[in-house]
Each structure stands twice: as C-alpha cells, then as structure tokens.
A and B are shown apart, each in its own frame.
Chain A
Amino acid sequence: MTTATASAVDSAAKTLPRGRPDRPATGVGRPGFAWAAPAAVFFGLFALVPLVLVLVLSFTRWNGLGSPQFAGLDNWRGLLDDPVLVKSLWLSLLLTVLGVVVQTPLSILLGVWAAGRQRNRAVLSAVYFVPLLLSITAVSVLWRAVLDPNFGVPSQAEWLFGDGNLFGTQTGALGVLVLVSTWQFTPLHTLIYQGAARSIPEVLYQAAQIDGAGRVRQFFHITLPQLRNTIVTSGILMVVGGLTTFDTILILTQGGPGTDTTNSAYYMYQKAFKSFDFGAASAIALLLVLVATLVSLVMVRLTGYDRMRSTMEGV
C-alpha cells in the first residue's frame, strides 16, 4: 500500500524544525548517526537504488536475460507513438476520478456517522472494517466468484444484470473495478474521517444549535469545513492508490475486454513480464510516478493544504 504524502510532510514539519529547545550544552547522551545508519542503508538499497535504477533502465533495451543495452531515447519515443499507452493513461485517470468521486462522499458520510459514540455504531464499524483485512488478491478473487456470469449472483438477478456477463463490456468491467475498490477501500477512508470527525470541537455544534441550525446546516457549515484537510489527505491516498491499481485488474479483467481496462500500471506489468520489454516498462513506471506526484502536488496547491497546517486536526 502506498501512503500519505501530505500527512507525512505534515508530520515531518512537526518533528524536524522545532528548534530543539531541550538541547543540552554538550552532545552527551544523544544517539549519533550510527543509530540511523543500518535502516538507512537497508532502505536505500531496496527502495532508493531501484528508484534511481528505473530511470537508468528506461534508457536501455533489456529482455530480462543478459545485461541491459543503452538505447538512448528509443523507449520514450516508442511510448509517444503507442496508442495503448495513451489510452492506458486515460483509463488510469478515469478509474482514479471515478474512485474519488464514489468513495469520498460515501466515506465522509459513513465516517461522520461512525464518529458518534453509540454502541451500535461501534459494532457496525467493526464489521465495516473486515474488507480491509483481506488482501487485494483475496478481495479480487472473492468478487470474481461473486460476479461469475454462470455461478455467481448475476445468474440469480437477471432483472438487474441482463445476460450477467459484466466483464464482457468496457462499462461493465470498469464498473466492477470501481465497485471492488470502493468495497475494499471505503472502510479505510471511513476510519480516517471517523478520527477527524471525532476531533471537531463539540462547542461548534453547541453554538450552532443555540443559533437554531438544523442537522443538515450543521453538516455543511461545520463538519465539512472542519474536515477540509482530511479530505485532501484521504483524496491524495485515493489518487495514488487509484493510479497504481494493479492486482485488481490482473485478477478481475486481465485488462480486457481487449485493452479496455488496461491502465498504465497493468500495461507496465505486461510490457515487462509478458513482452519482456523491460526498458519500455521502466519508462512507463517512471511516467506513473511523475503523474502521481504531479497530481498530488496540484491537489495540495489547489486546496491550499500546505498553508493550512495550523488547523490540522486529528488525522
């Protein structure tokens, strides 16, 4: 699972530039760099070196055997002319936008509701949580079985599903992908909103009640504005998760029908481990990181999130 860039940056801001008022006159008793070194070396070797290597490999031709050959800009040029790549980028964005649009309102409503301290809500929240425990693999396999055209639920409800083969059309297949990721990840975002909603000061609601504001007005004038930062954090998580959707597609649609659900992450996998064109795959991977970073940065800028640290609540 990839994670919260924005909140990470926020936490970093809390940790690092504090001025360290507790610094003693001498450095006695403080851990040195040696304490961080093993983790840094390990992490560098298995996460940062590959990240640099992916840039290098994107300029090479490599089929997985032998050693990579320098190929200049060939991979990049090839990608510009590749209609499947362009389509896959659009599909990545489409899946991401659909995911955000469906999951955000749902998880805000569920999260705010679950933030109440009644007992039944705690019990229901515990049940809602279960999809998060399943691996993406297990979730995809489960839904594939549930939606199986011959033995699954669609065969029982023809009035709703028609001939029942949801995987046969682009609309159906995309719908399934959005449904499955909503099913699995809404609980996570509900949890995030639940934490944030709990930390909204109760006095705000008391004041609103004295002014005679109803429940709906309270929601739109207090709850939503107070959740603003959380919406950005959760949104960025959804965007990065959405752009990198992979396991679900591999198991549910294999990118089909045709290339109708081949998003960039899946296309990258195909290029590398089906066509053994590792150079082109590296270029796609890099493109994916760039797009994800760019979208996150734009979101942070547009929403003014980076200027709003002081009102950061809860999550």
Chain B
Amino acid sequence: MRKRPNYLAGFGSLIWLFVVGLPLYVMLVATFQTRAEYARNGPLAFPDHFTLDNYVNDLNDGFGQYFLNTVVVTVCVVGIVLLLVPPLAYAIVRSDGKATGRVFRLFLLGLAIPSQAVIVPMFYLINEAGLYDNLLGVILPTAAFAMPVCALILTGVMRDITPELYEAMTVDGASPRRIFLRLVLPLSKSGLSTIVVFSSLQAWNGFLFPLVLTQSSENKVITMGLYDFQTEHGVDIPGLLAAVVLSMLPILLVYLFARRALVQGLMGVGGK
C-alpha cells in the first residue's frame, strides 16, 4: 500500500514527545547542579558546573541501604514467583482434573483485586504472624499479588506448545515431572523471562505494602526512601530528583538491554 506521510499525526507525536520529555529533562539537569544554582537559574536552565554531589549525598543519606533492601525484596519475590507459577501454569494447561480449573478461576478473580482492598486485613495478618516491619512481610504479599498476571502470561505461552510433543513424551513413558523439566520449561523461556521482568518491576516499584507494613529505616525500600525524602526535605529538589534517578537506574539498565522482554511484560499487564 502506498502511503503519503501523515504530517498532522507526526506533529502530534512530536508534541507528545515534548510532554514526555520535559519532566525527564528537568529531572536530569537538576541533579547535576547545586541547590543554590537550581534555585537561581530555574528548572529549565542547563547547569553551569556539573556536580555529582547530589547522588553522593543521597547514597550517604541511607539510599544505599534502601537500595539493598529493594534488591533483597525483588530477588525474593522473583524467586517465589519462579518457584510457584510455572508448575501452576503447567497444571492448568495439562491437568484433566476439575480442581485445577477452579484454581485458575480464583487466580483470574485475583486479577481484579486492588491491593488497597486488602491492605487492612493484610496489616492484621502480617501483625499476627509477627512479620510487621520485616522485609519478609513485604515480600510475601508482593509475590502473591504478582502471581495472577504471571500465571496468565505463562499459561498463554504453555498452551502454545503443541499437544503432539506432550503425546510423544507420554508414549515414551515420561513422567509429568520429566515432561515439565525437559519439554515445558525449555519451550517456555520467553514466558519465563517475561514473568521475571514483570514481577521484578512490580517488586521494585511497590509502594503500598512497604508503606503500611514497614516502619524502621533499616527495613525501608527505595520507594519509601523517596516518599520520606519528599516529606522531610522536599525543598532540596536536586537531591530529591537525584534520588528519583537512583530509584529508576536499575530498571533503565534492564530496559536498555532487555527492551523486548520488558515491552512484552507490560503488554501482559494489558492482558495478552
């Protein structure tokens, strides 16, 4: 099909680029100047003298610890999801019992539960379990709430494995365990990387569970650090924005190297 260039749409997309880009520009240039310089020249000016002090100060101000806590939470959440979801998806796709069908429906119901709806009972349960102000108390609910979407993504992928392959292995007398390890897992690699990306994004960016379930500074994650920084010394805008950049740095790196998996992961949010 021949196409004339669509100038109007092109122009519109450039306006959107400006809308998306302006705050990001303000964020970046602010972090490389001192507070005084930022206040004097305004948010749109380019810095006269580059400085990394804002980043250094943030890291000394506890953000190093928050960063580490977030890594721990993220790794554990991804671990739990990887341990539990693939066998679940395998059972949903291949089991012939009615029970697994019901379980899947429950997970689908879970898609519609906003985490706010359960935050009060979660606070109650975590308290009763003695996990309040403990990273484990953040990890467990975060993993649970990442599971429905991951299950949905992975069942989609496993469903695409042709029945002939399963049949061939069954005829050879392979056990479900062997089929799972030798056939299903290797053929679900793309889905597995998608759920890794998705659950780590959710764990890294989580806010409500840490807000309600942790308290002391040694158990803070990076989103909590940002929130506290904002309420405590919100006037130090360059320092604050440097913290924002620090909080997104790992994800930005992942984005640069694994763009495809990330895009797929987020398309999964919209439902495959």
| Residues of A6-24 contacting chain B, CB below 8 A | 6-12, 14-16, 20, 22-24
Assess the A133–B248 pair: CB atoms within 8 A: yes
CB-CB under 8 A from B20, the residues of chain A are 127-128, 130-131, 183, 187
Nearest A residue (CB) for B202: A1
Known contacts A11-B156, A43-B106, A289-B113: A188-B226 contact under CB 8 Å? no
* B110 and A43 contact, CB distance less than 8 A: yes
* A234 and chain B: residue at smallest CB distance: B270
Q: Does A224 count as interface, using CB distance less than 8 angstroms?
A: no
> Are A128 and B120 neighbours in the complex by a CB distance under 8 Å?
no
A interface bracket (residues with beta carbon within 8 Å of B): 35 or more
Given known pairs A31-B176, A191-B267, A247-B208, the reply for A39 and B116 (CB within 8 Å) is no
Which B residues are in CB contact (< 8 Å) with A315?
A: 267, 270-272
Given A3-B269, A7-B270, A135-B204, answer yes or no on A29-B93 (Cβ-Cβ < 8 Å): no
User: A14, A28, A278, A289: which contacts B117 (Cβ < 8 A)?
Assistant: A289
Number of interchain pairs (Cβ within 8 Å): 352
Flag if A127 contacts B17 (CB, 8 Å).
yes
A2 near B114 with CB under 8 A, answer yes
Note all chain A residues with C-beta closer than 8 A to B166: 22, 29
- Which of B46-54, B188-196, B236-244 forms part of the interface with chain A? B236-244
Contact with A along B185-214 (1 / 0, CB 8 A): 000000000000000011011111000100
Any A CB within 8 A of the CB of B103? yes
Q: Is A36 an interface residue (CB 8 A)?
A: yes
Stretch of A83-91, A93-101, A161-169, A265-273 that contacts chain B? A265-273
Taking a contact as CB atoms under 8 Å apart, the answer to whether B271 and A233 are in contact is yes
- Separation of A288 and B116 alpha carbons in the complex (Å): 9
**B130, CB-defined interface residue at 8 Å:** no
Q: Which residues of A contact B23 (CB under 8 A)?
A: 142-143, 146, 183
Question: Which of chain B's residues have a CB closer than 8 A to the CB of A137?
Answer: 205, 207, 223, 226-227, 247
- Say whether A202 faces chain B, with CB atoms less than 8 Å apart: yes
Q: How far is the CA of A4 from the CA of B148 in the complex (A)?
A: 11
Instruction: Kindly list chain B residues whose C-beta atoms are within 8 Å of the C-beta of A40.
Output: 88, 103, 106
Are A135's CB and B223's CB within 8 A?
yes
Q: Are A292 and B114 in contact (CB under 8 A)?
A: yes
| Interchain nearest-CB distance for A133 vs B (Å) | 5
Which residue in chain A gives the minimum CB-CB distance to B20? A128
Given contacts A141-B230, A240-B112, are A54 and B237 in contact (CB under 8 A)? no
* Minimum distance in angstroms from B127 CB to a CB of chain A: 8
The listed residue with most B CB atoms (<10 A of its CB), out of A130, A145, A188, A278, is A145
Q: Could you say which residues of chain B place their CB within 8 Å of the CB of A244?
A: 114, 116
Chain B residues near A54 (CB, 8 Å)? 117-118, 120-121
A76 within 8 A of B: no
CA A300 to CA B267, docked complex, whole Å: 21
Among A3, A9, A29, A272, contact of B123 (Cβ-Cβ < 8 Å): A272
Residues of B within 8 A of A113 (CB): 6, 9-10, 12-13
- Other-chain residue from B17, B88, B144, B230 in contact with A128 (beta carbon distance below 8 A): B17
B91 & A31 in contact (Cβ 8 Å cutoff): yes
Q: How large is the interface on B (under 10, 10 to 19, 20 to 34, 35 or more residues)?
A: 35 or more
List residues of chain B with CB within 8 A of the CB of A29: 166, 169-170, 174-176, 179
Which of B116, B206, B226, B272 touches A141 (beta carbons < 8 Å)?
Answer: B226
- Residues of chain B within 8 A (CB-CB) of A188 are 266, 269-270
Contact partners of B42 in chain A: CB under 8 A: 151, 155-156
B151 at the interface (CB under 8 A from A): yes
Contact B117–A51 (Cβ < 8 Å): yes
Residues of chain B contacted by A281 (CB below 8 angstroms) = 120
Interface residues of A in 280-300 (CB under 8 A from B): 281-282, 285-286, 288-289, 292-293, 296
B116 and A268 contact, CB distance less than 8 A = yes
Residues of B within 8 A of A (CB): 1, 6, 9-10, 12-13, 16-17, 19-24, 26-27, 30, 38-39, 42-44, 80, 83-85, 87-88, 90-97, 99-101, 103-125, 140-141, 143-145, 147-149, 151-152, 155-156, 159, 163, 166-167, 169-170, 174-176, 179-180, 201-202, 204-208, 212, 223, 226-227, 229-230, 234-235, 237, 240-241, 243-244, 247-248, 251-252, 255, 259, 262-263, 266-267, 269-272
Closest 10 CB pairs of A and B: A7-B271, A135-B205, A46-B144, A4-B271, A29-B170, A53-B121, A50-B118, A35-B91, A39-B88, A22-B163
29 CB contacts below 8 A, A to B, read A2-B115, A11-B156, A12-B108, A28-B170, A29-B166, A30-B95, A31-B91, A31-B176, A36-B87, A36-B88, A42-B144, A46-B141, A47-B147, A68-B124, A110-B13, A130-B255, A135-B248, A142-B244, A153-B44, A183-B19, A191-B263, A195-B267, A202-B1, A233-B271, A247-B207, A251-B230, A269-B116, A282-B121, A289-B113
New A-B contacts (12) at CB < 8 Å, excluding given A5-B111, A269-B119? A5-B112, A33-B100, A35-B87, A36-B100, A46-B144, A121-B13, A136-B207, A186-B16, A233-B270, A240-B112, A269-B116, A288-B117
